Amino acid sequence: MRIGVLDIGSNTGHLLVVDGFRGGPPVPAHSLKEPLRLAEHLDEQNAVTEKGIQRLVDYVTSARAAAEDKGCSTILAFATSAVRDAANADDVIARVNEVGGVDLQVLAGADEARLTFLAVRRWFGWSAGRLGVFDIGGGSLEVAVGSDETPDVATSVPLGAGRLTREWLDTGQTTAELRAHVRAAIADQAGPIRRGGAFDRAVATSKTFRSLARMLGAPPSREGQYVARNLVRAELEPLVGRLGTLTNDQIAQLPGVSSDRAHQMRAGAIVAEATMDLFELDELEICPWALREGVLLQHLDQL
């Protein structure tokens, strides 16, 4: 069956149209992205502004039309941190659903981590053993660990690259101050995650980690999903320092970085380095599947 998965993230709206069926991997058929940057459309009360709501409604309306045009029988629509944490989240959802004609649901942070973990488990299989999965989004960092399809621990920490850029770097605080904040926040969550022992496989997903790996020489996306891509801590550490010396325009010229995310890469790199250091990870494998695939796989399992 053809299904549309509509992901409203803190940075980007992304419709992924796939041919999905139980017992096999979803096959991508169409994609429609737009840099919504919802986290930057918040007022002093942390409510999404009218401009932000309208931008979201316009995108969802166009995404629904595109999904229907591609023959989707179902649209799975969900929103993550930017909408989840907004003071007017209920009003935003109601407006989107009424005008945009979808059933947009807000995912809790723990569910976001759990579903991303499911996607990674299905990608690597049971031979991966005890998995540690890390995902830096625009609003939050998700971490999940376990040996089954459902993680033993799934947590979300407000350490997204966009959030930290807006709340720390754009307000004049130093990268050293941000580094200390990030490390303290991750360390507070580390106990339950580390309690089960070392990971047999440590995996990173989503755009920030992919961009960092690409900056350090990982193969581009045009070489396909099945090419191995890794992020090495010894290579990441000097990159963190280098990013602090570059302008946003210079960062946007680096491999794997889009112009709409360049300003967030300093904060994203700080979170990635802290994660690898505090969990004693020399290397992270990059998984091409993440939250969208997890939402789809759960839906197919429930049919």
| Span 114-155, pLDDT tens digits | 999 999 999 999 999 999 999 999 999 999 999 999 999 999
Enumerate the H helices of 137-243 as residue ranges.
161-167, 175-194, 206-215, 233-243
- 150 and 256 both lie in a single domain: yes
- 144 and 91 both lie in a single domain: no
Provide the pLDDT confidence category of residue 303 given band limits of 50, 70 and 90: confident
pLDDT at 24 over 90: no
Domain boundary among 89, 106, 123: 106
- 146 and 239 both lie in a single domain: yes
DSSP 124-160: H-GGG-SEEEEEE-SS-EEEEEESSSS-SEEEEES--
Q: Is residue 21 part of a domain?
A: yes
CA R_g for the chain: 18
- 64 and 141 both lie in a single domain: no
Q: Is residue 23 part of a domain?
A: yes
Provide the pLDDT confidence category of residue 164 given band limits of 50, 70 and 90: very high
Which range marks the domain in which residue 87 is found?
2-106
CATH number of the domain within which 100 lies: 3.30.420.40
Mean of pLDDT values over 231-252: 97
Could you give the number of structural domains in the chain? 2
- 195 and 240 both lie in a single domain: yes
- 102 and 119 both lie in a single domain: no
Distance CA 194, CA 182 (A): 18
Say if strands 105-106 and 230-232 run parallel, antiparallel, or are unpaired: unpaired
165-219 pLDDT tens trace: 999 999 999 999 999 999 999 999 999 999 988 999 999 999 999 999 999 999 9
- What's the pLDDT score for residue 132? 98
Q: Is residue 296 part of a domain?
A: no
Please list, residue by residue across 18-28, b when 16 or more beta carbons sit within 10 angstroms of its beta carbon and e when fewer do: bebeeeeebee
Q: Is residue 32 part of a domain?
A: yes
Structure tokens at 264: 């967030």
Burial class, 247, CB count within 10 angstroms (exposed 0-12 / middle 13-18 / buried 19+) = exposed
User: What does each C-alpha distance from 268 to 54, 159, 175 come to in angstroms?
Assistant: 28, 9, 11
The mean pLDDT value of the chain amounts to 95
- 249 and 122 both lie in a single domain: yes
- 10 and 88 both lie in a single domain: yes
Q: Compute the 3-state secondary structure of the chain and give helix, strand, coil in percent, each to the nearest 5.
A: 50, 20, 30
CATH number of the domain within which 218 lies: 3.30.420.150
